[in-house]
Amino acid sequence: MKRILLPAGGALLATGLLAAGLAGTAQAQGDVASDDLAKTEAQAAEVANFWLKSNHAALTQAVAFNPDSLEVKKIKSGGGYSADTKPGSAVPIGEEKKVAVKTQNVNLPKTIGKVFFEGRDGKLYWCSGTSIQSQYRNLVATAGHCVYDMAANNEVVSRWVFVPGYYQGKTPWGIYVGKQAFTHYDLDVYEDFDRDYAFVTVYNGINLGGGSAKKVSWKEFNDYQGAKEVKRIEVSKEEYEKGQKDPNTFPYYDVETGSSDENTGPDFPGAIVDRVETTKDKYESAPVGRLNGAKFGEPEVLPITEAQAKDWKGTGYVSQDKLGNWTVTHYYIQQWKKPGKATRYVRLEPTIIDGFLKDAGRLGDNVGGQGVAWNQPAGAVVRTFGYPAGPHPDGNKSYTGVTPKWCYGKTASKVLQVPAKKVEEHQSLRCPVTAGYDGGPWLAKYSNAKRLGYVTGVTSLIVDADSNNRYETITSPIFDGETAAIYKAAAAVWSGKLVK
């Protein structure tokens, strides 16, 4: 991937709102590194199709990302943290002219969700992340190692998407394909976990449409796993004969008999094959070939509503996929018949129907966005959120990754050092979670009523700090003036939408 170093001085925010909210923070020259995730709309469309169309099960097949960073040794406390610039912040979306209200209860924020991606090893993973304030309401904060594969020369991962409000394969606000990742030069080049954060611009969200049809080749039709059917369009005898002579069009033409209902075998002079609907079990056990009772093409899978599914009285096999979509599948076997007096010539049009993508709008407009703050004092009260899964080192598996979890408390007064990961200064919090929680936000001044706060860190390492063979501590890079420079650069970048 091409890496671009952006001079921070040239990355000032354009809007008065954010310019006011971010003013007064020095920007370190040369700290901002940017990498493309899905630079073009065509690349982003392929990513969207992978997660939502071509492979519906992909979201539920992903596993919690469990990098080597979870297995760290020789953890120790350092000194106190010294800020590099004055404290600063950008307010949450919707709170630009309001003051956050302190409360003691916790409601989960709408902004959090899962980050899904394909690692350089070809496997599917997830981390956690959150929507944050930005000029174009299109920015996600997560851990740097949830964007950059540290085990593969620090290259960016593939097929990166953010799914806010993810729950058991559901995408209530759509999926948001990552376009461009911003992080610190030291993480991008040197794998410095003191800078283990990333800010990712995303395209507008996308959802599946309502059953639009697209004509495809037989190969695409046979390979496609969604809803599909074969349309039979009546044509003239001349078009039929012409199509039969061309090897490229021959498979797309057929002839149907009229009045004859007399069954026969495939060797009868002029015999024409007809299709007869059957059950799923009989179809799956049927042979392949020219015999009566052999399979007749691929099953046709048609989308139906939930109400139709519950009241279905017609033929076909009704089912629901992992994303909650209802379909009815029709299975056919072949029956050879004697030719009749009437003849109908048809052109076959294999068609997929599982819906094209539709625009779901901007991320921040749909779920809001947390504020961002930097150079905050140690010992501050924070609430952290994420999707933990997997076992503790002692073998106890206490989380499934299905629903988000949270922790609450004061960050440690002294920094945590993890030499194995080049960590000299991390903030830390007691929180007994597991893999998959990494990338989730650390929110200060969190309002339960508004479900908004200020991101002051993202979970980086999940560690056993007291050597009891069980994770009980999470760490985060310290958001300082250099973090603010990178955030400001990302917050000013437009990404656009995929569906016009």
Cα–Cα distance list, 307 to 325, 328, 413 (Å): 12, 13, 57
Assign 8 a pLDDT band (cuts: 50, 70, 90): very low
pLDDT at 225: 65
Task: Considering only the C-alpha atoms of the chain, give the largest distance between any 2 of them, rounded to a whole number of Å.
Answer: 95
- Token readout for 216 is 């495809």
pLDDT at 88: 58
How big is the chain, counted in residues? 500
Which one is predicted more confidently, 319 or 200? 200
Which one is predicted more confidently, 243 or 305? 243
pLDDT at 146: 95
- Kind and range of the H or E run holding 485: helix 481-491
Assign 363 a pLDDT band (cuts: 50, 70, 90): very high
Model confidence at 130: pLDDT above 50: yes
Model confidence at 102: pLDDT above 50: no
Model confidence at 314: pLDDT above 90: no
Listed in sequence order, the DSSP H helices in 194-345 are 218-223, 237-245, 280-285, 306-310
Model confidence at 316: pLDDT above 50: yes
- Coil vs helix vs strand at 350: strand
Cα–Cα distance list, 283 to 220, 296, 303, 319, 427 (Å): 21, 9, 20, 16, 61
% of the chain exceeding 90 in pLDDT = 42
pLDDT at 488: 95
- Coil vs helix vs strand at 383: strand
Assign 211 a pLDDT band (cuts: 50, 70, 90): low
pLDDT at 145: 93
Mind listing the pLDDT tens digit for each residue in 398-434?
Answer: 788 888 999 999 999 999 988 878 889 999 999 999 9
Judge residue 488's burial from the number of C-beta atoms within 10 Å of its C-beta, 0-12 exposed, 13-18 middle, 19 or more buried.
buried
Residue 222: phi, psi to the nearest 5? -70, -35
Model confidence at 99: pLDDT above 50: no
Mind listing the pLDDT tens digit for each residue in 25-79?
Answer: 333 347 899 999 999 888 888 888 788 754 456 888 899 987 654 445 555 555 5
Mind listing the pLDDT tens digit for each residue in 20-35?
Answer: 333 333 333 478 999 9
Which one is predicted more confidently, 450 or 338? 450
Which one is predicted more confidently, 104 or 368? 368
% of the chain exceeding 70 in pLDDT = 80
Assign 486 a pLDDT band (cuts: 50, 70, 90): very high
Work out the mean pLDDT of the chain and round it to a whole number. Answer: 81
pLDDT at 55: 43
Model confidence at 210: pLDDT above 90: no
Residue 272: CB partners within 8 Å, gap ≥ 6? Answer: 255, 256, 257, 336, 337, 339
Residue (of 464, 489, 398) closest to 436 by Cα position: 398
Model confidence at 181: pLDDT above 60: yes
pTM for this model (two decimals): 0.65
Mind listing the pLDDT tens digit for each residue in 256-272?
Answer: 755 467 888 888 887 87
Assign 3 a pLDDT band (cuts: 50, 70, 90): very low
pLDDT at 481: 93
Model confidence at 278: pLDDT above 50: yes
Assign 96 a pLDDT band (cuts: 50, 70, 90): low
Distance CA 456, CA 182 (A): 17
pLDDT at 230: 85
Structural domains present in the chain: 3-205+370-491 (2.40.10.120), 214-355 (no CATH)
